[in-house]
Every structure is written in C-alpha cells, then in structure tokens.
Structure 1
Amino acid sequence: MRHDDTIMALSSGALPAGVAVIRLSGPKVRDALMAVSGPLPRPRLMALRHIGDAGQRLDQGLVVFFPGPASFTGEDCAELHVHGSRAGVKAILSALSGQGLRLAEAGEFTRRAFENGKLDLLTVEGLGDLLAADTERQRQQALARYDGALSLKVDQWRSVLLDLRAELEARLDFSDEGDVDAELPNSFLASLIGLRRSIADALAAVESGRVVREGIRVALAGAPNAGKSSLINALAKSDIAIVSDEAGTTRDVREVPLDIDGNLFVFLDLAGLRNTDSKAEAEGIRRAKQAMEGADIVLWLMAPDTQDATLPDNLTGKIIRVATKSDLTAATAPHDLQLSAVSGEGLDMLFATLARYAEDLIGGEPALVSHERDRMALSAAVANIDRAEATLKQFELAAESLREASASLERLIGRLDAERVLDRLFLQFCIGK
C-alpha cells in the first residue's frame, strides 16, 4: 500500500444499480478530474458533466471535488456520480487508470484518513461498526463512537493524567526550587480517585456495549424433540431448520440473527441433550453444552410429549423455562412461558420477555466501549492508577505508573502501537471505504 499514489474505487456497491459512485483520493485527483470531466467544479458543489476519455463520451453524471485537507482523507478527493452500468463504470475506471490512478485496497480511504489525522483509531472502529450495523441500537452505538464521543472522553482522561503527572514530575525535577512544595496538593488524591472512578465506570459498561455490537446470544436447549428447531423456524418465519419426529436430527449449532425492538439477538438451535451411542450426535451434544455455557440467555424447552432432560448446573446466563407445544396440551411442569410454534401462541410474550431483558442488560443509551481493545486498555489504565495511588510517597514510581496509564489510553486512540491493529482493522472494510 503506497500512500503517494492516487487511488480510485467504486464506493456504491454491486452493479448494475441506479447510480454508481466512483471515489478518488490523492495528488493526481485534480488533473485526472479535468482530463475526464473538464474544468474543476467549485469545491464541495456538484456539477453536471460529460465524462469521457480521449474525445470519446463515456457517460454523463454529477462531479464533486473536495480539496485537501478539508476532505475525508485529508487529500484532494473527488466523486463521480454516474449511471450504474457495468460497462459504463468499467470504461470510466479504465479512463482514470490511464491518468495514473490505481484501484484502492480494502479500507485504504479510511486508512489515509487515519494517517492524515482526520480520524483516530476509535472513530475508525466506529465507522467500521456503523458499516456493519444491522439494528437500531448498533447504529446508535456505532455513530456515537464515530462522532468522537469516546475519543472526547479519552482526551479528558488524558488531560487529567497530564496534570497529575506534571505535579509529580515537578517535584522530581525541581525539588530544590523554593516555589515547588515538597508535598502534593490536597486536591491531588481526589483528582486521582475521581479519574479512576470515571474510567472504571466506562470499563463496567464494556459488556453491555459488546452485547449491542455482537448481539445477545440465546440458546434454545432441551431434550430431543422438545421443539427447538420448530421454534427457530417460527422465530425466523422460514424453514431454515429440519423438523422431524426422529430424535437427534440436529447435530450442529445453527445461528439465526434476529432484530427484536432494535436489538440484535442471535438464536442458537442446538442438539437435544440425552445419552447416545452415536459419535456424531455426542459431538453435537458437546457443542450444545458449550454454546449454552457461553449464552446470555438459555431458553430451556420442555414438551408434553417428551421426557425432560437434565439442565446443566454450570450456566451463567439467564434461564427461561419454556413449555412448548401448547397446541397439544397445557403444560404441567413449572415454566416461565408457554407457547406453540405451530399456532404462534405465546410468541409475542417471548418477544416481549426478550425485549425487557435487553433493556435491563443494555439500559438507555448504548455504551461507547464495546471492543476487546477497549477492555484491555481501560483495565490497564485502572491498574496503573491503582499502582500510582499505592506509591504516592515515592514520586518516581507513582509518576511511572501514571505514564503507563497515559500510554494505555494513547494506544486506545491509536497514538502508540497503532500498526499492530491497523492491518487487521482495515481489511474488514469494504473496497471504496
């Protein structure tokens, strides 16, 4: 990936389409734009242009020019909004290639924005989350991160750390000066404790943020023929799972994502739990138990025409006992919900129960912290602040601990060690973004 090149990409998705957007960035944008569409339009204003190559007209469309550094990447940028024809787009890209432009790699536009200081690593991740958002909660959380809400919070923490470090380092470097007190001011410890509390509060929200971004995992578990596959089909409103009277039909973990009241739920259709001599079914049961252990919610299904299995005792998620096949007979065993996948009875109650659980788990506004990187960086910052508080009588040790806390936050926003995460991060972006 060379950063002195001028890059181009189709940024609007698969063709054919009503409109195709071709994006350009780099030092040759001005010349290339004039070569294929005539005089440059006024910055950030669209102009209707004939688009051609060597006197041959290729298309007609809207052209917009964004001079750097006031652009997404910080470089000269442009967009061509043309008809979404495969042949037309191919011809325009070929003409731009003749002007010295090359096709962009995955995430290269965003990487240039990062390296030119237009985005930090947190806002880049927010943009990636926004592109991948499927639910309203995910959109809200990703947009807040992309808009810089978490970056602003990290900058505030770094500013407090800088002031605290300055107090310590002044006593190390200027201890012989008369205007530097040997003792720390009374406000020092209060500021340190307040900073720790603020970071710890954000750290406590990591799990709810992760749940929004990755989804609430709901395991459908129980004995064979308890109605797990029938329920997954009813929830998805599609015959995605095989339903049979034969026990042991499900052998693997099937994941079905669903949007319920703006929250992502990932339902897991699991093998029925029982003793078996079949190696394949036994492996399915092992995977089912493993999935149950990692689930946020376990729907334990019990049917009137099957013998109930034994519920594992090492589960950490919320357990909801569901009596299935209510169209056959009323449930007699203790249960939280009763439903029928055939008639649809009780499904609304199940959706409402899950929505309430999501509200309790996530709360009002989605958390800004949601990535494993967030957890690691904030945990390290809190640990170093704790070390600083424990060694306040030894200014050198306390100052070093606060420096390490600052470094943890610097890594979070991408000011330190960014290369270790950049390649993996940007490869998740689509071409043209």
Structure 2
Amino acid sequence: MMQYSRNTIVALASAAGRGGVAVLRLSGAGAAAALEKITGKSCPAPRYAARRRFYHPQDGGLLDDGLVLWFPGPASFTGEDVVELHCHGGRAVTDSLLAALCACDDVRPADAGEFSRRAFHNGKLDLTQAEAIADLVDAETLAQQRQALRQMDGALARLYDGWRHDLIRSLAHLEAYIDFPDEDLPAEVDEGARAGIRSLLQAMRGHLADGHRGERLRDGLAVAVIGPPNAGKSSLTNSLARREAAIVSATAGTTRDVVEVHLDLGGYPVILADTAGLREGSDPIEAEGIRRARARAETADLKIAVFDGASWPALDTHTVNLVDDSTVVVINKGDCLPADQHQTCPTVAGRPAQVISVHSGQGMDAFLSALTAEVQTRLEGQGSAPALTRARHRSALEDCADCLSRSLQAPALELMAEDLRLATRALGRITGRVDVEDLLDVIFRDFCIGK
C-alpha cells in the first residue's frame, strides 16, 4: 500500500504527566536522521536498546540521558522507520525533547491516531485491529481487555476475511460463467453459488443475532436498580459501588433523578443506575423522576428489582409489573422476613428472589454471584466466535446480508453477480480490504481462462 504521508511524525507514546519513564516515538523516513541529530551518534543495532545523551539540535544544550531503540522499516509497527526514545518522565524533559525533535528537518507532531493509521495504510493492520488498539487503551476491566486483545490478534478480521474469500470465489465463478460462455465451465456454477450464498447468509445472520454483546462489553452493560421508595435501592447501589454514590434517607422520594455508577463486576463493565422509587408521585419533580426511572428500566440491559422485606408478602405492583426475564429480583431487609421464609426460595412474578440485607451483609455474597452470572451471560454469550464490537461493523454486515438475500432472488445471473459485488464491498469496508484484483486471481486460477 502507499504510505499515508512522507512526513516524519513524533509524539509521546506513554501517558502524559509526571512519571519515572516516558516514551517518545518517531515514524517516517527522517526518523534515523532526527535521532542522529539529537544524539550525535548513528542508530544502534535494530531492536537493541542503547544508552544515549540527548541534545538540542540548534544550541547543543543537554536535554536528558536515556535509551533509544531503532526499528527500520518495514519490520516496525507502522511499516516505516521507527525510533523510540526512553527518557525521564518529567514534563520539562518530554516537552523539551518534543520541541527538539520537531526542530529537525521534516519532523512534525503526530495527529491523533496517526501511528495506527500509517500502520493500516502500510498493510500492518486492518481496520478492526486498529480499532482494537483504541479499545485496549480504553479497557477498564479484564473482559474488555480480553476482547480487545482477541480482536487485535485478528480474530474478527479472520472471520470476515474468510467470508469475503467465499464471496469472491462465488462471484468469480459467476463472472467467469457470464463473461466466458464458450469456455468449458461447469454447468452447476449457478446452483453451487446459490448454495454457498445461503450457507454464508445463515452464518452471517447468526453472527448478527448476538444481542449486541460486543458493543455492550465495550461500553458497559446498562443495569437499572428499580423498586418502591425506601426499599433500599440507594443503599444497594452504594454497597455495590463501595462509596456514597447515592443519597440514602428514610424520607420517601429522596432520589429524584437517575444516579449512574460505573462498576467492574467480576471483570465485566457495568453502568449501574439508581432510580427514583416507583409510586404515584404527586410532586411534579418526583413525577418526572419516576418517569425517568420507568424509561431507564425499559432501555436497560438488566434490571435489579428491589422489594422491601419489611412489607413482605405485600409487593409493590408498580415494580412487579416491570419484572421479566431480564430482572434479578432482590428482597432487601431480609432480617425482617418471617423465619420460615429463610428456609424457602421466595419468588416474585415467577422469578427466584435473592434475600439480602444491605445493612447487615446477609446474602450479599450470593446476590453478587447471581448478578455477576447474569452479566457474564449477557456479555460473553455462547460459543467461541469473536463478537461484533462496533456499530460500524454491524451496519456493514447488515448491508452485506441484505445484498446476499437479494442475490438469491435475482432473476438473472448478471443481477445476482452485481448483488454479490455489493456484498463483497460491504464486507470489505469492515477490515478496509476492497480489491477487485482478487476476482481476477480466482478466475484465472480456477478456470484457466485463455488456456
């Protein structure tokens, strides 16, 4: 592929701010010259660290004493010549080194994401792997880290490239049948292509029907805590957050708005929302809070319905009406339940209830295990296939599936081939691989046209 830019770029590759060590990275044809200019020495052996002193190229002032590494292209992250400077992590040091490097010929500060973009343009990464780098940097939980590493390793790209290869093969066979009718080609090309398309369409639809687990794992599973006033919703939220995130009061209607808390629950990202108590609110502000609580419950991926054990067996009907298969039922203030209830498993609307006491800690371990299991089921799903992680992927796959479905209804091979071309382009948009030359390769390899 063509290089994205001829400029040499430089940027701080480690986190900004004070630290023991900082890493500056250069990429481009002028990386080696810039290194020699600020050190006064030639590049060290490739991929070996060497100690160097860094000087300003204009006045010769000493800037720092650190390590350098040299990665000549194309065997580097970007595919270009790359230099890394490992220096002391003070702001003054990094700022002065960046200024000194930018004073070298043809060196400029890198744009956001430009190193990864150059790696893509130089064939070192596909688009899904480049996106995975951003996900890995942003990962806050172990599950997010695992998903990003898997995608960065190419799991998603391999799946889509395999589908694209099958599509190109079917399309190439159809194109050959259409363009070279006088050649001795198999008569079953049409039906063979249709069988392959049907199989691919089934696999693609199964991949799309994943409950958006990949996107939810990136962004966090939305969990709404719902229930009547004074059932202990805010206390439970604070207990899960391990901090005072929500106001706790014996006064009904204290929570007027949705309070969000980001949690790492067993390695999975969760956005926990404490909501207003469900009842017929007469106060306009409380009524708006209740409306927002209902809206959040309707859009949440999972609900925690909290009931008041002090009122058992009476149940709040507003909350009961929201209990469904996406609900973890909790009876708080379990120490207020009759003794015989502790020996049985109470149910609410057909769902088993976790008996807990936020105040004493009774049942909290079992509740956390049940909640984590529910979260894991929704985020991990079934099987080992890599998950869609972005709306961009899903949109392109849906376009591809639509084209495949339409191709099966096409009344002529020419129309069928055009739909397959559109499907191939849609699939190629995900990884950034769209190349019509692949069609010619398959045609000539499989059918030996012009023999």
**Partner Cα distance (2:272, 2:399) in 1:** 34
**Partner Cα distance (1:235, 1:263) in 2:** 14
Deviation per CA, 1:46-70: give whole Å up to 9, x if none. Answer: 1111112243222111101112222
**Partner Cα distance (1:122, 1:293) in 2:** 32
SS in 1 for 2:189: coil
> What's the CA shift for 1:133?
1.3
> What's the CA shift for 1:180?
3.2
Pick the aligned partner of 2:369 from 340, 352, 355. Answer: 352
Structure 1 length as normaliser, TM-score?
A: 0.89
1:131 maps to amino acid = V
Deviation per CA, 1:374-412: give whole Å up to 9, x if none. Answer: 222222222221222222x51011111111110110111
Q: How does 1:26-425 map to 2 (within 5 A)?
A: 26-37=28-39, 38-53=41-56, 54-100=59-105, 101-175=107-181, 177-181=182-186, 183-184=188-189, 187-205=192-210, 207-305=212-310, 308-311=316-319, 313=321, 318-330=326-338, 334-335=347-348, 336-361=353-378, 362=380, 363=382, 365=384, 367-391=386-410, 393-415=411-433
Question: 2:22 corresponds to which residue?
Answer: 20
Structure 1 residues 288 and 139: CA distance shift in structure 2, 3 A: same
Q: 2:247, 2:255 within 8 Å by CA — same for their partners in 1? A: yes
State the superposition RMSD in angstroms.
Answer: 2.4
**Using CA pairs below 8 Å that are at least 6 residues apart, which structure has the higher relative contact order?**
1
> What's the CA shift for 1:183?
4.8
**Partner Cα distance (1:40, 1:154) in 2:** 40
Deviation per CA, 1:157-207: give whole Å up to 9, x if none. Answer: 1111111112212222122x0413555365433322222222223222362
Deviation per CA, 1:57-113: give whole Å up to 9, x if none. Answer: 221111011122222122221111111112222221221122143222221211222
Q: 2:310, 2:337 within 8 Å by CA — same for their partners in 1? A: no
2:331 maps to amino acid = A
SS in 2 for 1:44: coil
Question: 2:448 corresponds to which residue?
Answer: none
What runs of 5+ residues in structure 2 fail to find an aligned partner? 435-451
1:241 maps to amino acid = A
**Partner Cα distance (2:384, 2:408) in 1:** 32
2:393 maps to amino acid = D
Deviation per CA, 1:121-147: give whole Å up to 9, x if none. Answer: 111111111111122221111111111
Structure 1 residues 273 and 195: CA distance shift in structure 2, 3 A: same
Q: 2:268, 2:376 within 8 Å by CA — same for their partners in 1? A: no
Question: 1:428 corresponds to which residue?
Answer: none
**Partner Cα distance (1:180, 1:43) in 2:** 52
Q: Which moved more, 1:197-206 or 1:67-76?
A: 197-206
> What's the CA shift for 1:328?
4.2
**Partner Cα distance (2:251, 2:54) in 1:** 64
SS in 2 for 1:274: coil
1:324 maps to amino acid = N
Q: Which moved more, 1:99-108 or 1:161-170?
A: 99-108
Q: Number of matched residues?
A: 414
SS in 1 for 2:334: coil
SS in 2 for 1:310: helix
Structure 1 residues 259 and 330: CA distance shift in structure 2, 3 A: farther
Question: 2:437 corresponds to which residue?
Answer: none
Q: 2:228, 2:319 within 8 Å by CA — same for their partners in 1? A: no
Identity %: 41
